[in-house]
Amino acid sequence: MLGTLRRRIARLAFAVGAGAMMSCLVAVLAAMCWVPTAATGSRGSGRVHRSGDVEVISLSTERTLWVRYDTYLVFCARFDDPAAIDRGLDAAAQWLDVSEVDCTEEVAVIQCGWPLPAFRGVALPSRMLGTEYEHAVRLRPAPASGRHTQFRMIPLQPLWLGLLVDSSFFAALAVGISAIPWCRRRARIRRGLCPSCAYPVGDSSPCTECGWTMATAPQRPTSTAITPQNPHRRTANE
Which residues form the interface with Zn ion (CB under 5 A)?
Answer: 194, 196-197, 199, 207, 209-210, 212
Residue closer to Zn ion, measured from CB, 61 or 196: 196
Rounded least distance, CB 214 to Zn ion, Å: 12
* Shortest Cβ 4–Zn ion spacing (Å): 23
Minimum CB separation of residue 193 from Zn ion in Å reads 8
Strands 62-68 and 119-124, how do they pair? unpaired
For Zn ion, the closer of residues 142 and 207 by Cβ is 207
Q: Which of 15, 28, 196, 159 is nearest to 84 (CA)?
A: 159
| Contact between residue 97 and residue 53 where contact means Cβ atoms under 8 Å apart | no
* Nearer to Zn ion among residue 167 and residue 213 (C-beta): 213
> What is d(CA 19, CA 54) in angstroms, rounded to the nearest whole number?
33
Counting Cβ atoms within 10 Å, is residue 31 exposed (0-12), middle (13-18) or buried (19+)? buried
Closest CB 11 distance from Zn ion, rounded Å? 25
Q: Which is nearer to Zn ion, 68 or 185 (CB)?
A: 185
Indicate the residue among 134 and 209 with the shorter CB distance to Zn ion: 209
Least gap, CB of 21 to Zn ion (angstroms): 35
Shortest Å distance, C-beta 201 to Zn ion:
7
Pairing of strands 119-124, 157-158: antiparallel
